[in-house]
Structure 1
Amino acid sequence: MTDPYKQADRERWLRDLLCGALIGAGAILPGVSGGVLAVVFDVYRPMMETLSHPGRGIRKYWHIFLPLGIGWAVGFLGLAKGISAAYALSDAATIWLFIGLIAGTFPALWREAGKEGHGRAAWIACGVCALSVFLSLFYVRHVLRVTVTPNFGWY
């Protein structure tokens, strides 16, 4: 019979490995932020605590960061080819996948940001920011007509 604590530790390790791979992939996906994914996967606070107090944070969270780091490397390095292949198969479907990933992170971010409560001002600020980002991107796309050629320096 297996020990339930060891089973839970194994499951947590695999979960952190997968989360790390997705965070690493998020670092290379256009529009998807590894930081946002860290918030969604509930590893952002341990990361920030470790950055603010490295000695204490590493001692406290090393068991989380080991699989996250391995997963991040796999996701960052391993999924780059997969993303390139997805664009080659269907750039429209891949772009809509990224839009879905971005939109899917909004509820978790809103919950995290609203732990102190959402007032009327928060809703107004959210709307103003969303509108200003949309108008800025619309201006760049349709008025300035800026195109970016991807290269190493641009990334």
Structure 2
Amino acid sequence: MTAPQSPRPTQPSAPLEQDTVPVRTDSPKQLVGIYVRGMAMGAADIVPGVSGGTIALIAGIYERLINALGSIGPNLWTIFQQEGGVKGFAAIWRQVDATFLLCLLLGIATSFATLAGIIKHLLDNQPLLIWSFFFGLVVATVFILLSEIKRWNIGRVALFATGLIAAVVISSMPLLTTTPSLPYLFFAGAIAICAMILPGISGSFILLLLGAYDAVLEAVDTMNLSAIFTVIAGMAAGLLLFTRALKWLLSHYYQATLALLTGFIAGSLIKVWPWKVDALGSLNTEAVHNVMPWQYPTGAQWSTTVGLMLLGAILVSLLSWWGNRTNRV
């Protein structure tokens, strides 16, 4: 399967003009495609251990997303002043690629509204099935992205290994149990949104690690506005700082950055390993310890698990083909 074509050359490109985003005019069909990609990202972000950034990368919209988010900053006020009024707002809209971001966010929101309950039910009642599907999806993603790295050298191998080790260490960390304060929720939101954008590391899993996942869900369920706005503010702060750095790396060192990101994705396989048990070797909501398939209490269920892995691999390969075809057009 052909990987999405890199928008960057294999050689380090010339620095882009600061905060410049190419003006894109999408057709209605392309906007629907962006919306569908947003739904896929939202579905992945619901699962603690799978990153929506992984889907964005394999679907060929990752760099456009980072460029759009990285263009948000104080310079927007200068752009508004230069034009003024409605023209100023229109200039800002074009600068941040807002139509693209809006369609993507609508897709993500649709997934959260329609699929969150279904995925949560599967995670609670059929964890082997849902983890098998995502395991196959992530394995296929790693192979597709590895094929996109044109020339391997010691530096890129080291970056791949660094990303892999970092993801394994993060995925293996014990979960914190704490009653988060508002400043802590701000910090957790900032870290989680960075992970959500970074392929291979799940934002929801970071919230779990920091002991804030249940608090955030409860805040949304009870409409605790102070907690909700605190988390949103933390996410906004983390997003603006992190994406500007990532935008610069992608502009100047695309292949090296891709090697690092692919390492993160490969390391996340330890988190999405399907066969999990609790500390006593049984199955419940605390089943977080990986075991060999033949050690699983209900048996490996090879036909079901391998079939779902293949389904995940096929779907991500089709998504890669779609992203590649769209970029060519």
Compute the TM-score of the two structures, normalised by the length of structure 1.
0.67
Q: 1:9 aligns with which of 12, 18, 27?
A: 27
Q: Cα RMSD between the aligned structures?
A: 3.3
- Per-residue CA deviation, residues 60-81 of structure 1 (Å, 9 max, x unaligned), is 5233222211101011232111
Unaligned regions of 5+ residues in structure 1, if any? 1-7
Larger Rg: 2
User: Which one of the candidate residues 146, 152, 155 is aligned to 2:214?
Assistant: 152
Q: Distance in 1 between matches of 2:32 and 2:163?
A: 37
Task: State the distance in 1 between where 2:166 and 2:35 align.
Answer: 37
Once residues 163 and 70 of structure 2 are traced to their aligned partners in structure 1, the CA distance between those partners, rounded to angstroms, is: 29
Matches within 5 A, 1:35-74: 35-54=53-72, 55=76, 58-59=93-94, 61-74=97-110
Q: 2:38 aligns with which of 20, 25, 28?
A: 20
Percent same amino acid at aligned positions? 21
Question: After the TM superposition, which parts of structure 1 deviate over 6 Å for at least 4 consecutive aligned residues?
Answer: 147-150
How far does residue 131 in structure 1 lie from its aligned partner after superposition?
Answer: 6.1
Counterparts of 1:53 and 1:24, CA distance in 2: 22
For this pair of structures, how many residues does the alignment match? 140
Letter in 1 for 2:94: R
**Please, which runs of 5 or more residues in structure 2 have no aligned partner?**
1-25, 77-90, 178-207, 218-329
Is this contact kept in 2: 1:29–1:98, CA < 8 A?
no
Q: Structure 1 residues 152, 59: CA separation in 2 closer, same or farther (over 3 Å shift)?
A: same
Residue aligning to 1:84 = 120
Deviation at residue 58 of structure 1 after TM alignment:
4.1
Paired residue secondary structure (2:60): coil
Letter in 2 for 1:79: L
With normalisation by structure 2, the TM-score equals: 0.36
